[in-house]
Structure 1
Amino acid sequence: MKFILLSDLHLSWDNPLARMDNLVEVQFEKLRFVLDWSKENGDIPILQAGDFFDTPRGYYILSKVVSVLNSYETFDKDLIHCVYGQHDTYLYSDVTRNSTNLGILNEVDLINVLGTWWTGERNNVVIMGKSYGQEFHKNDLGYIEDPCVETKILIIHAPISTAPLFPGHEITHADKFLEKYSEFDLILCGDIHRDFIIERKGRFIVNCGSMLRREATEFNFTHKPHFLVYDTEDRTIEKVEIPHEPADKVLSREHIEQKEQTETMLEDFIKLVEETTPGLEAKNNVSFTDALWAFIKHNNIEQEVVDILSKVMEKGK
């Protein structure tokens, strides 16, 4: 039996600042590619690791997703199986999940939000889903000790990766997670937008990265959107690239460069104020404000700069 593996989708009705094209349209082209590939290869089930949507609710995006899924005559909830990511829920609450976009798709049987699912010709494949924030207990795993179960798969949305994204970023290392949960033959991760495939003695832990390159990060300029295909018979994984434009054609660094330039100019400005205006070593806000406005008046600072400073100081209150 085969499964299509997808990590974060972040389907949205808003075009991200970093995209130069229409990502709202592009995302559905990518989604249809995955669905078509599944259909053309015998309705291969799709396992998706959370953050199906970028926000918990949104009528327009929900309506469009329903339309896309319903456009397939033989579509049913046995095709897509997923878990909740933090973007799919409000405050990770179980109480409000059914009223979110993902919860509604689950309620109308267009997708299946996983708890535990048995499948395969002899019910010999078991798949467990752990949504964001759900605790994991060893006693959850008792049922998979059934000798009839030949393949055990976990789908989880949690900060599991091969390296932290920044200093102080707390993660669970993928290799250690695979070692800890040795009951599973395959672990599909979502949450952190970094792809990896780790194999240990025929067991896998994987992350496909995000299907959509929403931000102009260094990683996204090299990342190639794709999904994986896992074969339970020969225990192999195949990568299938999703058609996409080159990153430099659809991603813009302009807003990042503008922000960096603004921050540099502001740092230089503050340094100049500190060097030329006495009394700024005072710790209270009143003294700093008085000294700052004195500097502005004395040096004939342009009104545009004054307006920006005013907004920055107002936000800092």
Structure 2
Amino acid sequence: MKFALINDCHILLHLPRSRLDDAIQTSVDKFESVMSWCSKNNLILLIGGDFTDRPRGWYVYKKIIRVFKKYSNVKVYAVFGQHCMFLRNTEATILDLLNQSNYLTILGNKPIIFKKEKIFLYGCSWGGEIPKAESKEDFNILVIHAPIAEAPLFPNHDYQDAKKFLKENMDYDLILCGDIHREFVIKYKNRMIVNTGPMLRLTAEAYSFEHEPNFKVYNTKTREVETIFIPHAPADEVLTREHIERQDEIDSMLDEFVTSMKEDFEVEADLISNIEKYLKENEISDSVVNIISRVMEE
């Protein structure tokens, strides 16, 4: 049995500063290309959270519905990412409505079971507890949205190590994890954890200029994964760093200003202390000291 895997689609409801194109339509088009491929190849699609960039947006909801209707033969299973919900509230969100309308199914502790293939499909949305697999002998899949990564993205980054996570959750043969926008495929004892990276390059960070949007196709019989690239423009045609460079310039100017202020303060402090030292060492009369004090105060 084959599954298409993708995470962090971030279908947009607004235009990010880093994009030069109509990023809202681009995000919808990319998702449609994934659905089209799944439809032609008879694949089940698993989404590892953050399907949309914000929980509500009825303008783009209509566009999403049209895609699901067009490829109604594709079964889609997903979990909630933090971008799909209001804090922990999942009600009346785009993903919730898609679930209620049977366009997709939200995964949870109770598995979706493919009896013939003996495959059990579980889900863990953002902030949830990892479900316990009912049958260790069968093929278990976990779709999860959590900060699982190969390495920290910044100092003091609170994350779960991907290889360690795979080793600690031995009951799962395949784990699809979303949240961290870094692509990786890690294997351990015939088991695998996958992050496809973001479907849409949202920011103009260095990684976005290297990453090629894709989804994976996993074969439960061979336990192998294949990468399918999603049509996309070169990064330098759709991404701009102008706002980042401008902010860097502002930060640099601010640093220079703060440094100069500190230097001026230190010079002033040294001058005052030197005058006070001179007055004490040279036994200057009180009347002169008072005059100097008034001048210094002014």
Same fold (TM over 0.5): yes
1:273 to 238, 261, 267: 261
CA contact (8 A) 1:6 1:47 kept: yes
Tell me, in whole angstroms, the C-alpha distance in 2 between the residues paired with 1:277 and 1:108. Answer: 66
2:160 to 172, 177, 187: 172
1:134 to 107, 128, 132: 128
Task: Report the counterpart of residue 246 of structure 2 in structure 1.
Answer: 258
Tell me, in whole angstroms, the C-alpha distance in 1 between the residues paired with 2:127 and 2:111. Answer: 20
Task: Report the counterpart of residue 53 of structure 1 in structure 2.
Answer: 52
Secondary structure of the corresponding residue to residue 267 of structure 1? helix
| C-alpha deviation, 1:177, in angstroms | 0.5
Structure 2's unaligned 5+ residue stretches are: 270-298
* Deviation per residue, 1:258-310 (Å, 9 max, x gap): 000011011112222333357998xxxxxxxxxxxxxxxxxxxxxxxxxxxxx
Map of 1:1-317 to 2, 5 A cutoff? 1-42=1-42, 44-72=43-71, 75=72, 79-93=75-89, 97-115=90-108, 116-120=110-114, 122=116, 124-136=118-130, 140-141=132-133, 143-145=134-136, 147=137, 149=138, 151-276=139-264
Secondary structure of the corresponding residue to residue 216 of structure 2? strand
* Deviation per residue, 1:99-136 (Å, 9 max, x gap): 11111110110111112343446151101100000023
Tell me, in whole angstroms, the C-alpha distance in 1 between the residues paired with 2:129 and 2:171. Answer: 17
Tell me, in whole angstroms, the C-alpha distance in 1 between the residues paired with 2:149 and 2:64. Answer: 29
CA contact (8 A) 1:197 1:206 kept: yes
Secondary structure of the corresponding residue to residue 98 of structure 1? coil
CA contact (8 A) 1:152 1:186 kept: yes
Tell me, in whole angstroms, the C-alpha distance in 1 between the residues paired with 2:159 and 2:266. Answer: 46
TM-score by length of 2: 0.85
Count of equivalent residues: 268
Tell me, in whole angstroms, the C-alpha distance in 2 between the residues paired with 1:158 and 1:188. Answer: 10
Q: Which amino acid aligns with 1:181?
A: N
Secondary structure of the corresponding residue to residue 66 of structure 2? helix
Tell me, in whole angstroms, the C-alpha distance in 1 between the residues paired with 2:92 and 2:222. Answer: 40
Aligned sequence identity (%): 39
Secondary structure of the corresponding residue to residue 193 of structure 1? coil
Tell me, in whole angstroms, the C-alpha distance in 2 between the residues paired with 1:280 and 1:236. Answer: 70
Larger Rg: 1 or 2?
2
Deviates more, 1:52-61 or 1:161-170: 52-61
Tell me, in whole angstroms, the C-alpha distance in 1 between the residues paired with 2:119 and 2:265. Answer: 72
| C-alpha deviation, 1:227, in angstroms | 0.3
Secondary structure of the corresponding residue to residue 135 of structure 2? helix
Q: Which amino acid aligns with 2:103?
A: L
CA contact (8 A) 1:118 1:124 kept: no
CA change 1:113–1:280 in 2 (3 A) is farther
Deviates more, 1:234-243 or 1:60-69: 60-69
Tell me, in whole angstroms, the C-alpha distance in 2 between the residues paired with 1:183 and 1:23. Answer: 39
Tell me, in whole angstroms, the C-alpha distance in 2 between the residues paired with 1:275 and 1:258. Answer: 26
TM-score by length of 1: 0.81
RMSD of aligned alpha carbons: 1.8
Q: Which amino acid aligns with 2:241?
A: R
